[in-house]
């Protein structure tokens, strides 16, 4: 499918205004949001006219926020650029191996920076020279990027690296205690890594090691053209390569391998298979496109005789579709598979398959998550085969006779004593599979459409891991999605009683100080941690940080985070088994009025600010939740009632707070900032008392707040300034106690974000600023 560039409307920025821009001059209109977070949900029109509700992350946490919240720690390499390409997490042995550039690290998964150990494994000087001569990049390509790390047996790990465009593999001995046990590369075991590891460190590829056999999907040459799915290693008596057939038109063409997983299909171990996922170039007549695939081979496939010697004889593949249905059967397709995660279920034969895809169009950028069942995948492999007359023909349904045993079936003595191995297959079966490896039907997502989509954002989703979390109202699958911009989205898809689903982005996390594309991601449900690799390093992030949602039951409830519940005192990790009652949580509706007693609206941070008549002032109020809408109320000095602040030329509502351009004496009063979320639920974030100083009174006086360091120095001078300051106020604070009290109120950690930079200077020269008492504090008065 091609996305229609003619239909693409321009995205234009109109400040904070929403504007309607004609789409492609076809009389359709589309909502353009320069600041999409102003709405709870942005509406996006897909290439074929379907509109899509797109949610906004409820909470966005910067790297600094996460560090302050004790939620992230990062392992950075002692030398430049770690390139965390491969992570081998071994929870049982309490260790984490990290494959990086020219080295392998042995880390403590509980604390990445506790006594890390490293072994150096560079490419040879000759190889680096040749790589440079071939025109490759010295820093990013001509080194040994370790991309394969698997446990081989109790004492040995098998690893491969790109070896400066000359892949190599080796056994690594890891035994004894992590701190002082054996950790060494066995240089006597170095061997060629061709067909086991890519040449190009940036090319997608996959590998899995099971029963001492290594299965790899990779490019097998320097140019990365020939791609194959192979098996190698194995017990000493059984070592030879098996690979996919080279016929590109039928088997595998310019594949980018994404993942591979051993899965049992039945209780008979002879039926055990390796399922693997990739995208590849597909030629249908003259159209060339990229399509995503699920494929499989039998674990007991030893290759055929004659035409498929040392080639798989049980290889089958099917298309994996992830699309949004559109009007008239024209769907919006997400064709390029980026990552796969298998979420285990109680039945190990039936894990849930999560896939991340992106669009192929360079105009319509978008990513989606689709979910598949193993039952649907097996049904497609049991269905009709596809048939192609020749290289220039299209695939159609095969309607001829199917040989026995059905091609793709694993040999098993249990089923037919005459067929003990794949070498017992008849020529008919072997030649059938050579030309009919593709199934006619595609595999469609469970719900008929993606469970999550992100379109028209300036990043794509590239990685996924999923955790199943037990909450008060049932189990939830929480997705952690890595992006090429270095952020992580934590998403939950919630199914309502009427079967409609709602996608909620609980958090958007910046896990690195200098964001760059995420290269690897691993989850440890046991440790409640996520390991995220990038070119910069390896980050360890907790799956939840309930305390950051706020102090109130309502804030905890509104968060709708299945990991968190209100325990009567704080928002904390929800443990389903715990006997503690009065755990308050409502993931399905996020409705505090059904869960919380503290919903009466008397809370909120309190502050005092001073403004100068005829000058501008800025009252900052940032909700923790980006889904909240803010309303301002004022109780004027001497006024009877509180009224809602109405914006006009002088009073501007911005997304960070209220800007009053030229203060009138009548502007004095108590300003109340109220957040509204979940349709009706409101709570007060801030009560700000604005007092006014008549213009001109400060002239000729010392400038009190220009240099806080001077003010902080205790001494007679600053005390004098403080007294001066009190004197010039039109409504001076009556006592020192009151002054101190107001400072104390300002410093309360009630709302960290709202407290940050309050009274912030707006474009310094442009708006002359309020002299704020806060900066004028003098510790000696406390
Ligand atoms: C593990 O494999 C290595 C490499 O083949 C071998 O040298 C070693 O003896 C094996 N160890 C055990 C415990 O089997
Ligand atoms: C299902 O219920 C939700 C609220 O619980 C509502 O917003 C939605 O419109 C309903 N969907 C359908 C198809 O009735
Ligand atoms: C504020 O400005 C207005 C006109 O711009 C002027 O008439 C008034 O005197 C000023 N008020 C003060 C207190 O300076
Ligand atoms: C007291 C005070 O801050 N006055 C300022 C008000 O704004 C004008 C210009 O915008 C400044 O010149 C004053 O110093």
What CA dihedral angle connects 18, 488, 335 and 196, to 10 degrees? 160
pLDDT value of position 237: 76
Most ligand 2 atoms within 8 A of CB, residue of 500, 504, 560, 591 to mutate: 500
Distance in Å, CA 741 to ligand 4 centroid: 28
Q: What mean pLDDT comes out for the span 422-443?
A: 95
What distance in angstroms lies between residue 703's CA and the mean position of ligand 3's atoms? Answer: 21
pLDDT band at 737 (very low <50, low <70, confident <90, very high): very low
Alpha carbon of 650 to ligand 4 centroid (Å): 17
- The number of the ligand nearest the C-alpha atom of 612 reads 4
| pLDDT for position 27 | 26
User: What is the average per-residue pLDDT within 265-275?
Assistant: 96
Ligand 1 atom with the smallest distance to the CA of 156 is 1
pLDDT at 721 over 70: no
Distance 615 CA to ligand 3 centre (A): 10
The Å distance, Cα 729 to ligand 4 centre, comes to: 16
Mean local confidence (pLDDT), 590-594? 80
Q: Are strands 605-612 and 681-693 parallel, antiparallel or unpaired?
A: parallel
Q: How far is the CA of 419 from the centre of ligand 3 (A)?
A: 100
Tell me the per-residue pLDDT of 629-682, one tens digit each, with 9 for 90 and over: 889 999 988 788 889 999 888 998 888 899 998 898 889 999 999 988 876 778
What is the position in ligand 1's atom list of the atom closest to the CA of 189?
A: 4
Lowest mean pLDDT among 15-29, 388-402, 539-553: 15-29
pLDDT at 381 over 80: yes
CA distance 204 to 226: 14
Residues shown for the chain: 782
Q: Which residue has the tokens 């900032």?
A: 673
In whole angstroms, what is the distance from residue 76 CA to residue 589 CA?
Answer: 41
Percent of the chain with pLDDT over 70: 80
* Of the listed ranges 113-117, 372-376, 702-706, the one predicted with least confidence: 702-706
**Given the CA of residue 589, which atom of ligand 2 is nearest to it?**
5
Least confident of 388-397, 545-554, 760-769: 760-769
User: What's the confidence (pLDDT) of residue 695?
Assistant: 58
**Which residues make up the CATH 2.60.40.10 domain(s) of the chain?**
605-775
Instruction: Give the right CATH number for 546-594 from 3.30.1680.10, 3.40.710.10, 3.40.50.2300, 1.20.210.10.
Output: 3.30.1680.10
More confident position, 486 or 768: 486
Nearest CA to ligand 3 atom 10: 614
Question: Residue 367 is encoded by which pair of tokens?
Answer: 């990513």
Compute the distance from residue 154 Cα to the ligand 1 centre, in Å. Answer: 8
How far does residue 678's CA lie from ligand 2's centre (Å)?
A: 14
Q: Is 498 in the pocket of ligand 2 (CB under 6 A)?
A: yes
Q: Which residues contact 763 (CB under 8 A, 6 or more apart)?
A: none
Per-chain mean pLDDT for the chain: 81
- Name which residue sits closest to atom 8 of ligand 4, judged by CA: 768
* pLDDT of 280 above 70: yes
Summarised one tens digit per residue, pLDDT across range 334-376 is 999 999 999 999 999 999 999 999 998 877 889 999 999 999 9
Q: Express each pLDDT in 555-570 by its tens digit.
A: 888 999 999 998 888 8
Which whole number is the average pLDDT over 179-184? 94
Residue-level pLDDT at 420 = 93
Q: Which residue's CA is the closest to the ligand 1 atom numbered 14?
A: 153
Q: Residue 760: pLDDT above 60?
A: no
Whole-prediction pTM = 0.80
Query: What residues form DSSP beta bridges with 349?
Result: none
155 CB within 6 A, ligand 1:
yes
Identify which has the larger pLDDT, 729 or 585.
Answer: 585
CATH 3.30.1680.10 spans which residues of the chain? 546-594
The region of weakest confidence among 60-69, 575-584, 587-596 is: 575-584
Q: What is the DSSP letter of 687?
A: E
Q: Which of 697, 730, 763, 768 to mutate to test the pocket of ligand 4 (most atoms within 8 A of CB)?
A: 768
Q: Is the CB of 501 under 6 A from ligand 2?
A: no
**Which residue from 152, 156, 158, 235 has its CB within 8 A of the most atoms of ligand 1, so it is best to mutate?**
156
Nearest-CA residue for atom 6 of ligand 1: 156
Is residue 63 within 8 A of residue 513, CB to CB? The reply is yes
pLDDT for 109: 94
**pLDDT attached to residue 713:** 38
Can you give the pLDDT at residue 576? Answer: 74
Residue 720 predicted with pLDDT over 50: no
281-297: pLDDT as tens digits: 988 766 789 999 999 99
Residue nearest to ligand 4 atom 5, measured at CA: 768
How many whole angstroms from 123 Cα to the centroid of ligand 1?
25
pLDDT tens sequence across 146-161: 999 999 999 999 999 9
Q: Give the ligand whose atoms come closest to the C-alpha of residue 173.
A: 1
pLDDT of 119 > 50? The answer is yes
The Å distance, Cα 173 to ligand 1 centre, comes to: 9
The contacts of residue 734 (CB under 8 Å, 6+ apart) are none
pLDDT single digits (tens) 318-339? 999 999 988 887 888 999 999 9
Instruction: Place 581 in a pLDDT band, splitting at 50, 70 and 90.
Output: low
Question: Does residue 405 have a cis peptide bond before it, meaning omega lies within 30 degrees of 0?
Answer: yes
Output the pLDDT for position 236. Answer: 77
Q: Is the CB of 615 under 6 A from ligand 4?
A: yes
Residue 639: per-residue pLDDT: 80
**Which range has the worst mean pLDDT, 212-221, 264-273, 501-510, 713-722?**
713-722
Which residue is closest in CA terms to ligand 4's atom 11? 768
* Strand pairing class (227-233; 242-243): antiparallel
DSSP letter string, 533-592: EESSEEEEEES--GGGG-SSHHHHHHH--TTEEE-SSSEEE--TT------B--TTT--G
Q: Which of 114-128, 255-269, 641-655 comes out lowest in average pLDDT? A: 641-655
Q: Of all atoms in ligand 1, which is nearest to the CA of residue 154?
A: 13
Compute the distance from residue 612 Cα to the ligand 3 centre, in Å: 11
What CATH class has 605-775?
mainly beta
CA-nearest residue, atom 6 of ligand 4: 615
């Amino acid at each position: 499918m091609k996305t229609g560039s003619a239909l693409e409307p321009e995205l234009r920025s109109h400040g904070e205004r929403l504007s309607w821009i004609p789409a492609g001059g076809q009389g359709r209109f589309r909502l353009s949001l320069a600041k999409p977070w102003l709405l709870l949900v942005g509406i996006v029109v897909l290439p074929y006219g379907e509109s899509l509700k797109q949610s906004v992350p409820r909470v966005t946490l910067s790297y600094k926020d996460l560090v302050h919240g004790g939620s992230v720690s990062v392992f950075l390499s002692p030398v430049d650029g770690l390139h965390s390409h491969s992570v081998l997490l071994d929870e049982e042995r309490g260790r984490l191996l990290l494959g990086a550039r020219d080295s392998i690290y042995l880390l403590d998964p509980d604390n990445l920076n506790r006594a890390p150990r490293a072994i150096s494994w560079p490419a040879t000087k000759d190889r680096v020279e040749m790589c440079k001569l071939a025109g490759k990049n010295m820093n990013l390509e001509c080194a040994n990027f370790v991309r394969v790390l698997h446990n081989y047996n109790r004492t040995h790990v098998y690893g491969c690296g790109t070896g400066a465009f000359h892949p190599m593999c080796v056994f690594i001995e890891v035994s004894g205690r992590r701190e002082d046990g054996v950790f060494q590369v066995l240089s006597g075991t170095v061997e060629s890594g061709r067909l086991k590891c890519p040449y190009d460190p940036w090319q997608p590829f996959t590998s899995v090691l099971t029963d001492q056999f290594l299965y790899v999907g990779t490019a097998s040459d320097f140019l990365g053209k020939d791609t194959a799915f192979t098996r190698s290693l194995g017990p000493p008596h059984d070592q030879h390569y098996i690979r996919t057939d080279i016929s590109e038109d039928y088997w595998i063409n310019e594949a980018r391998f994404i993942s591979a997983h051993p899965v049992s299909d039945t209780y008979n171990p002879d039926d055990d298979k390796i399922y693997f996922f990739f995208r590849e170039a597909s030629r249908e007549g003259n159209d060339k496109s990229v399509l995503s695939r699920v494929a499989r081979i039998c674990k007991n496939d030893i290759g055929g005789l004659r035409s498929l010697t040392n080639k798989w004889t049980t290889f089958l593949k099917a298309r994996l579709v992830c699309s949004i249905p559109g009007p008239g059967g024209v769907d919006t397709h997400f064709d390029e598979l980026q990552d796969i995660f298998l979420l285990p279920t109680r039945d190990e034969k039936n894990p849930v398959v999560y896939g991340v895809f992106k669009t192929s169009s360079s105009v319509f950028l978008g990513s989606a998550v689709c979910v598949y069942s193993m039952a649907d995948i097996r049904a497609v492999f049991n269905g009709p085969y596809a048939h192609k007359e020749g290289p220039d023909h299209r695939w159609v349904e095969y309607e001829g006779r199917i040989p026995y045993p059905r091609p793709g079936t694993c040999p098993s003595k249990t089923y037919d004593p005459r067929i003990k191995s794949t070498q017992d297959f008849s020529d008919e079966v072997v030649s059938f599979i050579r030309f009919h490896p593709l199934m006619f039907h595609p595999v469609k997502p469970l719900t008929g459409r993606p469970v999550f989509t992100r379109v028209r954002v300036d990043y794509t989703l590239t990685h996924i891991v999923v955790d199943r979390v037990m909450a008060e109202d049932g189990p939830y699958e929480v997705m952690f999605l890595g992006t090429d911009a270095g952020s992580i989205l934590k998403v939950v898809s919630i199914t309502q009683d009427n079967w409609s689903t709602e996608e909620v982005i609980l958090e958007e996390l910046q896990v690195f100080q200098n964001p760059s594309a995420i290269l690897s991601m691993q989850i440890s449900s046991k440790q409640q941690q996520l390991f995220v690799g990038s070119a910069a390093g390896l980050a360890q992030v907790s799956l939840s940080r309930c305390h950051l949602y706020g102090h109130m039951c309502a804030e905890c409830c509104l968060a709708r985070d299945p990991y968190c519940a209100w325990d009567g005192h704080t928002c904390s990790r929800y443990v389903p088994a715990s006997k503690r009652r009065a755990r308050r949580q409502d993931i399905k509706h996020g409705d505090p009025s059904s869960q919380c007693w503290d919903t009466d609206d008397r809370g909120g941070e309190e502050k005092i600010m001073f403004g100068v008549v005829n000058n501008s002032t800025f009252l900052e109020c940032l909700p923790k939740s980006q889904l909240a809408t803010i309303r301002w109320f004022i109780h004027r000095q001497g006024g009877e009632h509180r009224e809602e602040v109405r914006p006009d030329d002088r009073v501007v509502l911005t997304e960070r707070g209220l800007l009053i351009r030229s203060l009138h004496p009548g502007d004095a009063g108590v300003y109340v900032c109220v957040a509204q979320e979940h349709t009706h639920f409101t709570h007060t974030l801030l009560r700000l008392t604005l007092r006014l100083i008549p213009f001109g009174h400060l002239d000729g006086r010392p400038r009190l707040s220009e240099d806080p360091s001077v003010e902080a120095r205790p001494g007679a001078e600053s005390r004098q300034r403080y007294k001066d300051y009190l004197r010039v106020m039109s409504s001076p604070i009556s006592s020192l106690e009151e002054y101190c009290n107001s400072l104390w109120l300002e410093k309360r950690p009630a709302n960290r974000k709202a407290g940050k930079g309050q009274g912030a200077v707006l474009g310094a020269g442009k708006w002359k600023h309020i002299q704020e008492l806060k900066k004028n504090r003098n510790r000696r008065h406390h």
